[in-house]
Amino acid sequence: MSVTESKVAAQPAPVAKGGLSQSVTDSLIVAKRNLIRMKRIPEMVIFGLIQPVMFVVLFSYVFGGSINVPGAGLDPGAYREFLMAGIFAQTVTFATAGAGAGIAEDMHRGLIDRFRSLPMARGAVLTGRTLADLVQTALTLVVLALVALLVGWRTHENALKVLAGFGLLLLLGYAFTWIGALIGLSVRTPEAATSGGLIWLFPLTFISIAFVPSQNMPTVLQHIAEWNPFSATVQAARELFGNVAPGYPVPDAWPMQHPAWASLIWSVLIIAVFRTLAVRKYKSASG
């Protein structure tokens, strides 16, 4: 090895300046990179829209007249209003699989190691990725809301409450992308990240009040559904959208009686726990 090569090899990796400003700037740069990538590959967004739109149409017209909503009976219109908050919540949480697969792909291609060679905040790579996924989720939610309006869904509260409902949905989706980030860092391939990101979401979303009232479930499942963070956000969105039927019996569980607070607490707690675990895993996995 020559003297010049020895000097280059001995140079330490660039060190980030640190601080909140550095972290925010780096996160926004990474988010911009991912948004540009989405723009160049529009099929990523298009395919992400197909499944939730299918759920809206199928549940509205196939199950709309056969599921009893307490306080509204078998009215298909009432079920559509009952249903939509659940479909919105399912859509934002299923973005978890895409987030995990994207991070796993970056790891597989060595892009994460390239980021580590730059003087940037360590958590910025993951924060930027999750922010970009949040933007994509918000766009999907807008399109989905338009489709829901076309099939008969309506809100019955003022604009501020409706926006607050969508805000809680997006916060839950953002919280779950951190779970996806941890999964993406823990597996070896994007395919495994996709499977790992979906397998636990199905019981979480279906053992909830998203599609059927908890009163129709066995007692044990009722308690699970009513304390499910997914259910809290669904119930909060229903109330903020004005989609709770006048005679609907709200369960006695605390998250169902105070769903907005329960949704906020659950989402913040999930972000705090899984962001910490994901950033720690990022440092060790690519170190």
Full-model pTM = 0.85
Determine the pLDDT at residue 76.
Answer: 61
Q: What is the pLDDT of residue 17?
A: 52
HEC states along the chain? CCHHHHHHHHCCCCCCCCHHHHHHHHHHHHHHHHHHHHHHCCHHHHHHHHHHHHHHHHHHHHCCCCCCECCCECCHHHHHHHHHHHHHHHHHHHHHHHHHHHHHHHHHHCHHHHHHCCCCCCCHHHHHHHHHHHHHHHHHHHHHHHHHHHCCCCCCCCHHHHHHHHHHHHHHHHHHHHHHHHHHHHCCCHHHHHHHHHHCHHHHHHCCCCCCCHHHCCHHHHHHHHCCHHHHHHHHHHHHHCCCCCCCCCCCCHHHHCHHHHHHHHHHHHHHHHHHHHHHHHHHHCC
What the block records as the tokens of 149 is: 């309006």
Domains of the chain, by residue range, sit at 18-285
Tell me the pLDDT tens digit for each residue of 127-173.
888 898 899 899 889 989 998 898 888 999 999 999 999 999 999 99
pLDDT of residue 194: 79
- What pLDDT sits at residue 65? 62
pLDDT score recorded for residue 119: 74
* Predicted pLDDT at 18: 54
pLDDT at 6: 44
Cβ 271 vs Cβ 174: under 8 Å? yes
Q: Tens-of-pLDDT digits for all 287 residues of the chain?
A: 444 444 444 444 444 455 678 788 888 888 888 788 777 777 777 777 787 888 888 877 777 666 667 666 556 667 788 888 999 999 899 888 878 888 888 777 777 767 766 777 777 888 888 898 899 899 889 989 998 898 888 999 999 999 999 999 999 999 999 999 899 888 878 888 878 878 888 899 999 998 888 887 899 999 999 999 999 999 999 999 999 877 788 888 999 999 999 999 999 999 999 999 998 888 776 54
